[in-house]
Structure 1
Amino acid sequence: MLTDILTGRLLALPDGPDAPLAPITRLPCPLGAVAPLAGRPGHWVAAAGTGFCRIDAAGRADWIARPEDDAPVPMRMNDGVADPHGRFWAGSMAHEATGKAGSLYRLDRDGRVTRVLRDVTIPNGPAFSADGAVMYLADSARGVVSRYPVDRASGDLGAPEPFVTLGSGSPDGMTTDVEGGLWTAVWGAGQVHRYRPDGSLDRVVDVPAGQPAGLCLGGPDGRTLLVTSAHIGLAAPGPLDGAVFAVRVDVPGAPAAPYRPAYRADAP
């Protein structure tokens, strides 16, 4: 699954490269990210509009919270992911990318929404280690990926440390693999990078689009790196700007973690 953020669409990848993306639903607001809802096939938790909602199998949105409704500048939710312990995390940003206007939020299993970080401009990721004890978060406007210790029981964050600072391009969507490597799309550079857990650069993958945006590791063996791209803001987009790419890699990723609400999964 992937989102087309500014059009509010949730889409499924086709079986073949020549088939169009299959629409699942379309919200009347930007749709930043989704995670599957544990025990409810076809249901999702989403970072959308100014907050969080659940999307049912018919594509209807049930709003949980809209923490950015009263922000001083117009805001929208951006990237997000569920952690290995069943919480859902997502960042917000200003529509005009106003400096330090964004935040990182955590949707706990009991449905409570907490702002855990402020003063982020364009948050992307986050991505988590396999045990959920480490979180990576990119502030794309600053070109920096930071690493945070995470209390696995509460979800509280410890003090961050710089992990990667890019000299060109901006870190965008991220994911981790089973060896603890961090993959990040590099917006503006036409590349995807893999970093070892010590922050050293391990691999660079070139893609035929200038603005790689999101990525995940999937396929039957977890070794297919899927990379989305965007054409927004390009004066003369190329034929593959806005396309989705697949690259085979050596180290697999784990299946996407679901959001696991504390209430019964089969409850209405």
Structure 2
Amino acid sequence: MTSTAGLATVVVGGGYELAEGGRWTDGRYVYVDILSGRLFELHDDTEPAPRQLARLDIPLGAVAPVGDRPDMWIAAAGTGIALLTADGTLEWLDRPEDRTPVPSRMNDGVADPAGRFWAGSMAHDGTPGAGSLYRTDPDGTVVRVLDGLTIANGPAFTADGTTMYLADTAAGTILRCRVDPASGDLSGVPETFAQLRDGEGSPDGMTVDEEGCLWVALWGAGAIRRYHPDGPLLRTLAVPAPHPTSVCLHPDGNRLFVTTARYGVKRPTTTSGAVLSVPVPVRGTAACSWRGRR
């Protein structure tokens, strides 16, 4: 089923170059503007007045809350993973992309139900195969889990933490990975969950709803897709911006939040680079926290 964009409303006006990483946590919606290194929160989506929480001098790909440490985040930023304090200070855990053969940066990331933080990377120039997926364990160790990706995007987990979906945006591929919740290790080789064809857009940010279905933002297509966990496409939702970048389902309000980008849009409109809200018939869950012991 395909729905039109008529029901989409603008929560925060356009202007973000590359808004991404939308998450619902602690009664607020948080998101980043990657290229400007900014982190925002929005407490009430009916009042479009986001508050800037931090501004870095490096790209900020995504954040997740740190358990039991209010106003602290674990961040995929610049070339690595760091703890981000309320005053904007970064405490680096590791900078693995400093050791790559081509200039690269961190991209999207999310915490899993077991309290680990997963984040992808990409080359600045999109070099094929230069991206990786990293896992940050509770002791602060950063482990490269997968390599050979191009633009690692949108990690999303099922509620039990046994399945992770991962997009390789440039390849048009959504992978499904089996995860051992106890160790964080992947079980077997990731399988292709969905392969998008030319003209269908590129998979970007993702989330899993309360029914276990996968929602995917389609960069370049102005659309959101919802997939059944067995693979069939259930719904395509059109949005009034060509580059939707992330999706976040409100845990209580049957609303889908969508970040978008002005980056790469030849004729941007007021909705390019905006945060949108769309009514949907399902709910999501609040973002998981990184349960670090540092």
| 2:150 counterpart of 1:118 | no
Higher alpha-carbon deviation: 254-263 or 89-98: 254-263
Separation in 1, partners of 2:291, 2:266: 42
**Equivalent residue in structure 2 for 1:196, among 224, 228, 231:** 228
Separation in 2, partners of 1:128, 1:38: 18
1:199-243 C-alpha deviation (Å, 9 max, x unpaired): 111111111000000111125x15221000001112211221000
Instruction: Show the counterpart of 2:175.
Output: 146
- Is the 2:54–2:86 contact (alpha carbons within 8 Å) kept by the matching residues of 1? no
Instruction: Show the counterpart of 1:266.
Output: none
Task: Output the TM-score relative to the length of structure 1.
Answer: 0.95
| 2:84 counterpart of 1:43 | no
| 2:196 counterpart of 1:166 | yes
Separation in 1, partners of 2:33, 2:248: 15
Separation in 2, partners of 1:17, 1:46: 27
CA RMSD of aligned residues (A): 1.3
Q: Percent identity?
A: 55
**Equivalent residue in structure 2 for 1:97, among 126, 131, 151:** 126
1:99-157 C-alpha deviation (Å, 9 max, x unpaired): 11000000001111100000000011110111000010000001110101101111111
SS in 1 for 2:58: coil
| 2:168 counterpart of 1:136 | no
Separation in 1, partners of 2:44, 2:240: 21
Residue identity matched to 2:126: A
Separation in 2, partners of 1:192, 1:72: 34
**Equivalent residue in structure 2 for 1:231, among 253, 262, 278:** 262
CA-CA distance at 1:262 after TM superposition: 3.0
| 2:116 counterpart of 1:87 | yes
Separation in 1, partners of 2:43, 2:182: 38
User: Residues 131 and 212 of structure 1: is their aligned pair in 2 closer, same or farther, counting only changes over 3 Å?
Assistant: same
- Is the 1:175–1:183 contact (alpha carbons within 8 Å) kept by the matching residues of 2? yes
SS in 2 for 1:209: coil
- Is the 2:261–2:272 contact (alpha carbons within 8 Å) kept by the matching residues of 1? yes
- Is the 1:32–1:79 contact (alpha carbons within 8 Å) kept by the matching residues of 2? yes
SS in 1 for 2:96: coil
Residue identity matched to 1:235: K
Instruction: Show the counterpart of 1:27.
Output: 56
Unaligned runs of at least 5 residues, structure 1: 264-268
Separation in 1, partners of 2:235, 2:264: 27
Residue identity matched to 2:292: P
- Is the 1:175–1:216 contact (alpha carbons within 8 Å) kept by the matching residues of 2? yes
SS in 2 for 1:23: strand
**Equivalent residue in structure 2 for 1:216, among 243, 248, 251:** 248
Residue identity matched to 2:156: A
Unaligned runs of at least 5 residues, structure 2: 1-29
Separation in 2, partners of 1:66, 1:16: 35
1:46-65 C-alpha deviation (Å, 9 max, x unpaired): 00000011111222111111
User: Residues 31 and 12 of structure 1: is their aligned pair in 2 closer, same or farther, counting only changes over 3 Å?
Assistant: same
**Equivalent residue in structure 1 for 2:237, among 185, 205, 209:** 205
Separation in 1, partners of 2:108, 2:191: 21
- Is the 1:222–1:255 contact (alpha carbons within 8 Å) kept by the matching residues of 2? no
| 2:99 counterpart of 1:70 | yes
